[in-house]
């Protein structure tokens, strides 16, 4: 567990608390130094002239007057200058939930870690020493790298599939500005870092001017990038219910497409607690969001420019928004790097499909460049679009968010399916002349184990989002959404692979997890297809036959 920090403006409740505290302190001082000494004079009040009587009354009621005057001036001061003079820092603990402890892999923290993927050549992937079947179904995120080694098989993890009910806002609110610590990171070339950088950022990295890199998968992250490769994190204040991050993401994911201002005010800002606000109030909120976002960017630029050795960045070179009357779009200095990276690798897949390369080989395998693109896409896909922000503030989102969520899940799931099919094919057809028959058999079992993991990962991840437009239950034969149909197909393939390996326990575990997930998301209305139940029964028969045949052989040898 670790803590995140971010600045936030004074809320009305905070201002009121400060005002009352200051007013009470002034009232108490006035009570002891002015009011109490004059109470004895109240019994002789009418014996004094009018001017002295007024003076005595003022002193007696001085605590109330001081409370009102001091409190009023403190309120005016905080309202006008408090946010800029006294920014407050909120520290909140982030909860990292691990449903199933993994072995050999560390818990993935919620920071923006860079995962490295290595897709081996034919010689590297299949060494001369035999390999065993890998451990199955360890919990991890879809961005977990899958590495091949000569003597130790990789732990191929599954994505974490959190409960479909929205999690509490506190656990995610602290995450939104995670990764935005104001520290400069100088780019030091090294073979390992260069490989990771090239893998996750296929877009041009040699910039002619400073840029702003925005990431929208899982959470919003922003950083400044200079021409020489130095980066500076931009600490964004999320605003109430994350509204500033939501508005920035709404404009950014279109990557240059114009957005109507009135639609943003109505459909983005006019939700949640602001649902009953009028147009003027919503416009004020919109203008405030722009002001705070640009103020955070200016702070990051100023912090970067403090280093005398670095080339200075002009505030005019970078901005979040370009605008003309009534419309906004992403400023040319901005790049949505994670979405561009996922789209780049998906383009490789679609081009290979268009060229017929996915159906070219008779044994059913796919080209190495497609395998590599699929692996790198999975590594770059750190989570669904705005996943953490949506879980923290579900009432702040309208139907618009379904489009990007569904689109990028399409990319991720297609790459995952292709890798599963590739491993399944190798589990049937792999033969290397340099290996013995026993070693070839172990290699085939190894690939079947990886295929089972991939299919199970697909089945559980395909149905874990209510915002995916393709997760639909119609409760009529052949009418369910694409994700529901594909998920059941994937779990059948997983069970078949496990049956070949003789993994009865994993068949029960995988199928039970899938049925429970389907039961929850369909509210108890989903029923498995007959062919699914048959595949489960047949797979168990195979594993039973495998065990009994071995037992019979042992018994015969003893006799």
Query: Which is it for strands 321-324 and 211-215: parallel, antiparallel or unpaired?
Result: unpaired
Quote the pTM value. Answer: 0.65
Q: What is the SS3 assignment for 214?
A: strand
Q: Which residues are paired to 327 by β-bridges?
A: 260, 324
Rounded to an integer, what distance in angstroms lies between the CA atom of residue 282 and that of residue 268?
Answer: 10
253-268 pLDDT tens trace: 988 899 999 999 988 9
CB 165 within 8 A of CB 182: no
pLDDT at residue 477, rounded to an integer: 56
For residues 162 and 460, the answer to whether their CB atoms sit within 8 Å is no
Phi first, then psi, for residue 501 (nearest 5°) are: -85, -10
Interatomic CA distance for residues 414 and 421, integer angstroms: 11
State the sign of the Cα–Cα–Cα–Cα dihedral 265, 266, 269, 273. positive
Contact 161, 461 (CB under 8 A): yes
DSSP per-residue letters across 78-109: IIIIIHHHS-EEEEEEEP---SS--SSS----
pLDDT at 71: 79
CA 455: distance to chain centroid? 23
Render each residue's pLDDT in the chain as its tens digit; 559 residues: 333 333 444 556 677 788 788 878 887 887 777 777 777 677 677 777 878 878 877 887 788 888 888 878 777 777 666 655 554 443 333 333 333 333 333 333 333 333 333 344 444 444 434 444 445 554 444 444 343 333 333 333 333 333 333 333 333 333 333 333 333 333 233 333 333 333 444 544 556 788 999 999 999 999 998 888 888 899 999 988 999 999 999 999 988 899 999 999 988 999 888 888 888 999 999 999 999 999 999 999 998 888 757 678 888 899 999 999 999 999 999 999 999 999 999 999 999 999 999 887 777 788 999 999 999 999 999 999 999 999 999 999 999 999 999 999 999 999 999 999 999 999 999 999 999 999 999 999 999 999 999 999 999 999 999 899 999 887 665 678 899 999 999 999 999 999 999 888 899 999 999 999 999 988 888 889 999 999 999 988 876 544 544 444 444 444 4
pLDDT of residue 428: 92
- Rounded Cα distance between 36 and 33, Å, is 7
Instruction: Return the half-sphere exposure (C-beta side, CA atoms, 13 A cut-off) of residue 246.
Output: 28
User: 445: closest CA among 300, 546, 356?
Assistant: 546
Measured distance CA(476)–CA(491) in Å, rounded: 20
| Beta-bridge partner residues of 321 | 330
What are the tens digits of pLDDT across the range 357-377? 988 777 778 899 999 999 999
For residue 201, which of 220, 181, 225 has the smallest C-alpha distance?
225
- Alpha carbon dihedral 532, 537, 542, 544, in 10-degree steps, equals 150
Q: Indicate the SS3 state at residue 21.
A: helix
What is the C-alpha separation between 490 and 458, in angstroms, rounded?
7
Query: Other C-beta atoms within 10 Å of 63: how many?
Result: 21
For residues 127 and 125, what is the distance between their CA atoms, to the nearest angstrom? 6
């Amino acid at each position: 567990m670790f803590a995140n920090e971010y600045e936030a403006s004074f809320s009305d409740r905070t201002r009121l608390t400060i005002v009352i505290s200051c007013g009470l302190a002034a009232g108490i001082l006035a009570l002891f130094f002015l009011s109490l000494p004059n109470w004895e004079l109240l019994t002789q009040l009418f014996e004094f002239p009018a001017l002295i009587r007024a003076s005595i009354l003022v002193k007696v009621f001085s605590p109330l007057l001081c409370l009102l005057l001091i409190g009023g001036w403190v309120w005016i001061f905080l309202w006008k200058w408090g946010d800029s003079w006294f920014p407050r820092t909120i520290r909140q603990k982030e909860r990292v939930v691990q449903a199933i402890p993994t072995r050999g892999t560390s818990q993935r923290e919620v920071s923006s870690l860079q995962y490295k993927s290595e897709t081996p050549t034919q010689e590297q992937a299949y060494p001369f020493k035999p390999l065993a079947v890998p451990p199955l179904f360890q919990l991890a995120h879809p961005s977990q790298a899958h590495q091949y080694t000569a003597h130790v098989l990789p732990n191929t993890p599954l994505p974490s599939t959190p409960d479909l009910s929205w999690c509490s806002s506190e656990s995610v609110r602290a995450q939104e500005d995670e990764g935005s610590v104001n520290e400069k990171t100088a780019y030091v070339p090294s073979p390992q870092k260069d490989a990771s950088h090239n893998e996750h950022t296929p877009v041009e990295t040699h910039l002619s001017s400073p840029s702003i890199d925005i990431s929208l998968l899982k959470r919003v992250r922003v950083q400044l990038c200079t021409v020489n490769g130095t980066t500076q994190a931009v600490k964004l204040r999320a605003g109430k219910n994350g509204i500033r991050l939501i508005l920035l993401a709404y404009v950014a994911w279109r990557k240059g497409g114009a957005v109507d201002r009135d639609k943003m005010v109505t459909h983005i800002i006019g939700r949640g607690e602001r649902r009953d606000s009028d147009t003027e109030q919503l416009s004020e909120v919109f203008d405030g969001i722009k002001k705070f976002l640009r103020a955070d960017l200016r702070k990051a630029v100023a912090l970067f420019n403090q280093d005398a050795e670095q080339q200075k960045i002009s505030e005019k070179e970078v901005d979040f928004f370009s605008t003309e009357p009534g419309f906004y779009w992403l400023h040319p200095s901005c790049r949505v790097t994670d979405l561009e990276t996922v789209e780049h690798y998906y383009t490789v897949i679609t081009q290979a499909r268009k060229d017929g390369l996915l159906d070219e080989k008779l044994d059913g395998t796919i080209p190495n460049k497609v395998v590599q693109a699929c692996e790198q896409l999975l590594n770059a896909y750190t989570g669904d679009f705005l996943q953490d922000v949506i879980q923290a503030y579900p009432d702040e989102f309208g139907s618009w968010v379904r489009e990007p969520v569904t689109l990028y899940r399409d990319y991720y799931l297609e790459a995952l399916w292709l890798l599963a099919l590739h491993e399944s094919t190798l589990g049937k057809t792999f033969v290397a002349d340099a290996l013995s028959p026993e070693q070839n058999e172990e290699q085939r079992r190894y690939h079947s184990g990886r295929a089972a993991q991939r299919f199970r990962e697909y089945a559980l991840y395909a149905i874990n989002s209510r915002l995916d437009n393709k997760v639909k239950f119609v409760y009529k034969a052949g009418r369910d959404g694409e994700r529901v149909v594909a998920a059941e197909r994937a779990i059948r393939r997983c069970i078949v692979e496990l049956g070949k390996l003789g993994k009865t326990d994993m068949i029960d575990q995988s199928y039970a997890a899938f049925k429970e997930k389907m039961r929850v998301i369909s509210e108890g209305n989903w029923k498995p297809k007959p062919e699914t139940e048959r595949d489960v029964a047949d797979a168990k028969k195979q594993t039973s036959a495998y065990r009994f045949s071995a037992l019979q052989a042992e018994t015969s040898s003893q006799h």
